[in-house]
Amino acid sequence: MDLKKASIICALFFVSSFIAGHSIAEKHHSDTPSFKSTKVSKNIWMLQGKGGNVAIMTGAQGLLMVDDDYKEMSPALIEEVRHFGGLDKLTYIINTHWHGDHTGGNFALGSHAQIIAHDNVRTRLLNTQEIKLFKMVSEPYPEKALPDVTYAKSMTLHMNDEEIKIVHYANGHTDGDSIVFFKKANVVHMGDHHFSGFFPFIDIEHGGNVLNMAKNVKDILAIISDTTKVIPGHGPLSSKSDLQDFYNMLIGTSSEVEAMKKQGLTLEQIQSKGLSKQWDSWTDGFLSTETWIEIVYNSLKSQ
């Protein structure tokens, strides 16, 4: 399976898990839950399962994990961790935001490692949350699955001869997003600030906004290099060029929707008219153009 197909399937799993009923693809996947492992650098791997991409850093001081997929993927994730030394080696888990496809593994792994996240992630997970677009309700997490180390703006970990910088980029995908920089390895985990090659879900109900996401991505592009390995929240291992394409899409589609909105067109009229053909490929396997237009429109309205 090539990387584009893998990214499309990953996105399909993300959607179908939230919507009532399950697609054939998800049923097949749930029969044989597993992860695809991609080596990113000397001691960093990207794991692709059913939900958000997981990163694992190995070393003498133990394992650090970024995100931990859906709750039901935990047995497969634990099996994968055995290849890197097992749960006894797991020291830290970083949650890039609160969504269940990035934090569901907290239930099984939280008693083995400290969970780190932005302050707002713990607040969200302490309370019932609802995402209307996907008809998803998230019940409060138990104490063992909650972040026990939280931060407001940024924090730094020094582990395995690596400097890991965890930075809050406000109100992009949600109100509690973290971007994780592995400085020596020249690797960045974007969380859901990057869906590689397709329109992203942006959680406006919980503080996200397309324009803020674009600003945050622009700021990140300014500090990474052409050789930086970019781990997206969803999709294949990427590069700075891929992230630039994502930024161009955010800006380009937002500009088109804003121009039509200024002409006095309603949301329904803009959806009927659609976007330029250059964005057609961004619908592959995930959000339709109509749904993306609605997310952009509501982001503009909230501004």
pLDDT at 50 over 60: yes
For the chain, first and last CA: distance in Å? 41
Predicted confidence band at 3 (pLDDT cuts at 50, 70, 90)? very low
What is the arithmetic mean of pLDDT over 90-110? Answer: 98
Residue 268, classified by CB atoms within 10 Å of its CB into exposed (0-12), middle (13-18) or buried (19+), is exposed
Question: Residue 74 in contact with residue 104, Cβ under 8 Å?
Answer: yes
In the block, residue with structure tokens 């080596």: 39
Rg (CA), the chain: 18
pLDDT at 32: 64
pLDDT at 285: 65
pLDDT at 10 over 70: no
pLDDT at 17 over 70: no
Specify which residues 63 forms β-bridges with. Answer: 90
Least confident stretch, 26-40, 101-115, 181-195, 229-243: 26-40
pLDDT at 31: 52
pLDDT at 8 over 70: no
- Domains delineated in the chain: 3-249 (3.60.15.10)
The pLDDT tens digits of the residues spanning 241-282 come to 999 999 999 999 999 999 999 999 999 999 999 999 999 999
% residues pLDDT > 90 (the chain): 86
Instruction: Indicate the average pLDDT of the chain.
Output: 91
What is the widest separation between alpha-carbon atoms in the chain? 60
pLDDT at 23: 32
In the block, residue with structure tokens 């973290």: 178
What is the arithmetic mean of pLDDT over 79-96? Answer: 97
pLDDT at 79 over 50: yes
Q: Kindly report the number of other CB atoms within 10 A of residue 180's CB atom.
A: 23
Closest CA to 12 of 132, 154, 134: 134
Name the percent of the chain in helix, strand, coil, to the closest 5.
45, 20, 35
Distance separating alpha carbons of residues 214 and 126, to the nearest angstrom: 29
pLDDT at 25 over 80: no
